[in-house]
Structure 1
Amino acid sequence: MRRVLGALALLVSAGLAPLAAVQAADAPPQTERRKVIIEDEGFALMHLMLLESDKVDVIGITTVSGDVWANRATALALRGLETIGREDVPVAEGATFPLLNSEEKTRRWEALYGKLVWKGAWMRQWVEPTEQSTPSYHGPFDPVNLPEGNPKLRKSDEIAANFLIRMVHKYPGQITLVACGPMTNLALAQKLDPQFASLVKELVYMGGSFNPHQVLDNRSAADFAREFENLPRREFNMAFDPEASSIVSHAPWPRLTVVPVDPSTATQRSPELLARMAKAAPPRVGAFIAALEPGFPLWDEIAAGYVLDPGIVTKADDLYVDYDTQFGPNYGATLSWREGYQPGLGERKAHVVLAIDPRRLEADMVEAMREGAQKGAGQR
C-alpha cells in the first residue's frame, strides 16, 4: 500500500465520513467463504475488495510499520472501518520497527549506493519533482491526529503476532493471510510459534521484484515503472525489513504465493476504474472510493484480486524465493532459483505471479463492490 492516505480527509470534508489456464488447477471450487486476515499498513482499495466481496470473510486486520508507522496505520485502519460501517472487524497493531533495519541504516545505504524512490515511514522528501505531494513525516511515537479525525473504534488488546498465532490455532488450515506490507509481524509470529506458518491455509503477499518492465505509456505509469530500471530486484515491502522477509521465505507455509511488482506495471488506478467501482459499491464505500487519488499502479489490489479470482493470472512460475540480508548494494533484493539451483538452506518454493489480465482484475474489483451492495452493505 502506498500513498493513499488522504482519502478519508476528503470524505469528511464532503460530509461523508462515517491464467485462466495457468491457474485453473490451483483454484478448486470454493464451497464456503474463505477466511482472510489482512496484514498491511493502513486502509485502502485492497481492503475494500476483500471486505465487500461475498467470496471471503475478513476475520481481522493486523497493522505493521511500512508506508507509515504502525500506530498511524492502526488509526487509518480503524477510521476506515468506521467510515464504511465495518466496526465488527478487529484490528491488532503490530511491530513498530523492522527486526534490524532502521532509518539511519537506510540513510547510510543511500550514501553508499544511491537514492531510493520510496522510503515509507522514513520518507522526508522526493528525490526529484513528482506529481505526488510530499508525505508528512512523523516519528514512530508521535501522537496520531488524522486530518479527518481520529477513530472512536478501539484496537485489539493483542499485539498482531499474538493475534495471528491465536487465530491460526483457532482455525487451523482455514485462514488465508493477505500481506501487502513488510513481513515483520509474520516473522515474529513464526519465531514465537514454529507451528504458525504450517497452520495457515495460504500466504499471499505483495512484495519482491523479479524483472518488471514498463507496459503503460502514460507518464504516471512510466514513472513508477522507471523505479525498477536500475534496481530491478529491489522492492519496498521486502527491503524495509529484509531479515523478516527472509524468515518468512523459509517458513513452512502449505502454500505460498508471491505477487511481486512485475504485474503491476500493466495496471493503473484510473479515474474511470474508480468511477465504476464507486457506482457499484454501497454508498459509504462508494464515497470512500470516489475520494481516492488516481494514477497509482494496482500493487496490493492484484494480491486481493488473486485471492478472489486466481484466473486473473496469465503467467506464473514456481520458484524458490529469498531476500538478501547482507548489508550492501543488494540489501533487501529478491533472490530466486529454479528447482535444483537453490542453496538448500530451507528456502520454500513459491508460486510467483508474473503477469495478469488487467481487464479481468478491474472487472473483479467492480464485481466485489457490487457484491457488497447486494448483500445489504448499503444499509450499514
Structure 2
Amino acid sequence: MTIRRIAALLLMLLVAIPAEAKRKVIIDDEGFGLMHMMLLADPDVEVLGITTVSGNVWVNRATAQALRGLEIVGRRDVPVVPGATYPLVNTEAATERWEALYGKLTWKGAWMKAWAEPTVQSTPPYHRPDDPVDLPWGNPTTKPAGEIAANFLIRMVRRYPGEVTIIEGGPMTNLALAQRLDPAFAGLARELVYMGGSLNPQRVRDDRSARDFAREFVNTPRREFNIRFDPEAASIVSRSPWRAITVVPVDPSTATQLTRALRDRLAAAATPEVARFVARMEPGFPMWDEIAAAVWLDPGVVTARERLYVDYDTMFGPNYGDLLSWHAAYRPGLGEQPADVVRAIDSARMEALIEREVARLGR
C-alpha cells in the first residue's frame, strides 16, 4: 500500500470519528457576572440559555443585566429567558414579619433596604418589582426570549435528554415550577449543580470583608440567602428525582473573595470592553456562584466533599429556610435525594481558572 493511500485511509478514519460533543448547560441566576463569563468562555461548553429569577434583584433587572452582559462579551446568540418574579410562597411582607419575631436577616436581596450593622459592602439600591430598569453600565438593545423560564427548561431537557446540566446561582423558583409542570423534568436533566444552603462555614479569610459576611453563620449556621428567599422551591427541587446533584453551600465561599487585586488581574487579562465591565465589579464579596461554575468545569478544585441527603425547612418559624441534612441511615425517606456536598475548595486554583476563562472572552 502506498504512502498516499495510507494517508487517505487515515484521513477517512479521522473524519468518521465524531467530534467530542460540548457539555450542554443552562444557567439559572439573578443577573450576570463572572460565573456566566466562565461558562460562556469555555470552548468545551455550550450554553443553551440563561434563565433569570428574582433573588438579589427582581427578575426584570436580572433579565436586563443578563442581556447587557451578553452584549458586552459578544454572545448575543445565547437566549435570555425571564423567569419567576415572586417566590412560591414567601413575600417581602412575610419576611418583615419573620424578622420582627426572630431577628434580622443579614442579606435580603431584592427586599434589602439597609444592613443591620456597619458593613464594608455597599447597600444596593432598593427597587419595586415593576420599577423601570436603567443599568449603570448601559441598557441592552437586545430583547429576552418570548417564553417563560420553566417552559424553556422543560423544552431543553426534552430536546436533549440526559445531556443538560443546570447550574443554579439563585433561588430555585424556576426549577420548582418546571418540576411541578412536568414531573419528568428533573430526571431528564443530566445533573443539577447549585449554590445554596449552609452547613456552617469553618474557614474564613482574615480580612474585614470576609468577616462581615461570615458573622451571619456564627448564630445561624444553616441559613443562606438563595434558599431563604424561596424555601418551598428549594425543598421541591431537593426532593425531585435528579440523576445527580452537586450542592455548593456557602461553606467554601467564606474563604474566597473578589479582591481588588484579583479584579485587576481579571481586567488586565480581558479584552477592552470586557475589562471595563470587570473593573466596575464591587470588590469585597465572596465568590459564591463562581465556585459552582468552577467545580463543574474543574472538579479538581474541590478539596473536601461529603455525600449527604439534603432538604430545606419550610415551616414558618425560626429555622425557616435552613438546610436539613442526613447521612443515609438517618434520612427520613420523604423523597430527599443524595447530593455531593462541596465543603472546601482550592481558592488559588479557582482564581487561576477564572482568569483563564475571562481571558478567552471576545477573542
Q: Distance in 2 between matches of 1:175 and 1:287?
A: 32
> Is 2:290 the partner of 1:301?
yes
Contact 1:213 1:225 in 2 (8 A): no
1:223 to 200, 212, 218: 212
Among 344, 353, 358, the residue aligned to 2:342: 353
- 1:65 matched residue in structure 2: 54
Deviation at 1:298, TM superposition (A): 0.9
Mapped contact 2:120–2:208 kept (Cα < 8 A)? no
Deviating more after overlay: 90-99 vs 146-155:
146-155
Question: Do the aligned residues in 2 keep the contact of 1:161 with 1:189 (CA within 8 Å)?
Answer: yes
Match in the other structure for 1:11: none
8 Å contact 1:214–1:225 — kept in the other structure? no
Q: Which residue of 1 aligns with 2:132?
A: 143
Per the alignment, residue 97 of structure 2 pairs with: 108
What is the aligned counterpart of 1:277 among 245, 258, 266? Answer: 266
CA-CA distance at 1:277 after TM superposition: 1.9
Matches within 5 A, 1:118-267: 118-267=107-256
CA contact (8 A) 2:121 2:209 kept: no
Is residue 96 of structure 1 aligned with residue 85 of structure 2?
A: yes
Q: Which amino acid aligns with 2:117?
A: E
- Residues 202-239 of structure 1 show CA distances to partners (whole Å, capped at 9, x for unaligned) of 10000000011342111111111111111100000011
Residue of structure 1 in register with 2:68 after alignment: 79
2:22 maps to which residue?
Answer: 33
Cα distance, 1:279 vs structure 2? 2.3
Deviation at 1:369, TM superposition (A): 2.2
2:337 matches 1:337: no
Give the aligned partner of residue 4 of structure 2.
none
Q: Which residue of 277, 281, 284 maps to 1:288?
A: 277
**C-alpha contact (below 8 Å) 2:53/2:174 kept by paired residues:** yes
Contact persistence 1:214–1:222 (CA under 8 A) = no
CA deviation after TM superposition for structure 1 residue 104, in Å: 0.7
Local SS of the residue matching 1:262: coil
SS at 2:143's partner residue? coil
Partners of 2:279 and 2:61 in 1: CA distance: 22
Residue in 1 aligned with 2:9?
A: none
- Structure 2 unpaired stretches of 5+: 1-18
Can you give the 5+ residue segments of structure 1 that lack an aligned partner in the other structure?
A: 1-29
Give the whole-Å Cα distance in 2 for the aligned partners of 1:246 and 1:47. 25
Alpha-carbon distance between aligned partners in 1 of 2:51 and 2:349, rounded to the nearest angstrom: 28
SS state at 2:237 partner: helix
Is the aligned partner of 1:117 residue 2:106? yes
Displacement of 1:313 in angstroms is 0.4
Secondary structure at the counterpart of residue 304 of structure 2: strand
Q: Distance in 2 between matches of 1:302 and 1:148?
A: 25
C-alpha distance in 2 between matches for 1:81 and 1:124: 29
Query: Residues of 1 paired with 2:89 and 2:177: CA distance?
Result: 12
Distance 1:55 1:316 in 2: 25
- Checking the alignment, whether the CA contact within 8 Å between 1:209 and 1:260 is kept in structure 2 is yes
Which range moves more in the overlay, 213-222 or 301-310? Answer: 213-222
Could you say what secondary structure the match of 1:284 adopts?
helix
> Aligned letter for 2:325?
S
In 2, the alpha carbon distance for the partners of 1:243 and 1:334 equals 12
Q: Quote the Cα distance in structure 1 between the aligned partners of 2:112 and 2:118.
A: 14
Distance (whole Å) between structure 1 residues aligned to residue 33 and residue 161 of structure 2: 28
| Alpha-carbon distance in structure 1 between the residues aligned to 2:77 and 2:139 | 18
Q: Deviations over 1:41-79 (max 9, x none)?
A: 001111111111223111100000000111111011111
CA contact (8 A) 2:252 2:343 kept: yes
Identity of aligned residues (%): 65
1:55 aligns with 2:55: no
In 2, Cα distance between the equivalents of 1:278 and 1:201? 33
The structural deviation recorded for 1:145 is: 2.2
Per-residue CA shift, 1:140-162, capped at 9, x if unaligned?
11222223332110000010000
Kept after mapping to 1: 8 A contact 2:120/2:284: no
Match of 1:7 in 2: none
Quote how far apart the aligned CAs of 1:200 are: 0.6
1:323 aligns with 2:312: yes
Q: Distance in 2 between matches of 1:169 and 1:286?
A: 37
Q: What SS does structure 1 have at the residue aligned with 2:246?
A: strand
Distance (whole Å) between structure 1 residues aligned to residue 84 and residue 346 of structure 2:
34
Question: What secondary structure sits across from 1:340 in the alignment?
Answer: helix
The number of residues matched between the two structures is 345
Letter of the structure 2 residue corresponding to residue 89 of structure 1: V
Contact 2:31 2:65 in 1 (8 A): yes
**Higher relative contact order (Cα pairs below 8 Å, separated by 6+ residues):** 1
* 1:163, distance to aligned residue in structure 2 (A): 0.5
Structure 1 residue 167: Cα displacement: 0.7
TM-score by length of 2: 0.93
Deviations 1:171-196 (A, max 9, x none): 11111111000000000000000110
Query: What RMSD over aligned residues (CA atoms) do the two structures have, in Å?
Result: 1.3
Structure with the greater alpha carbon radius of gyration? 2
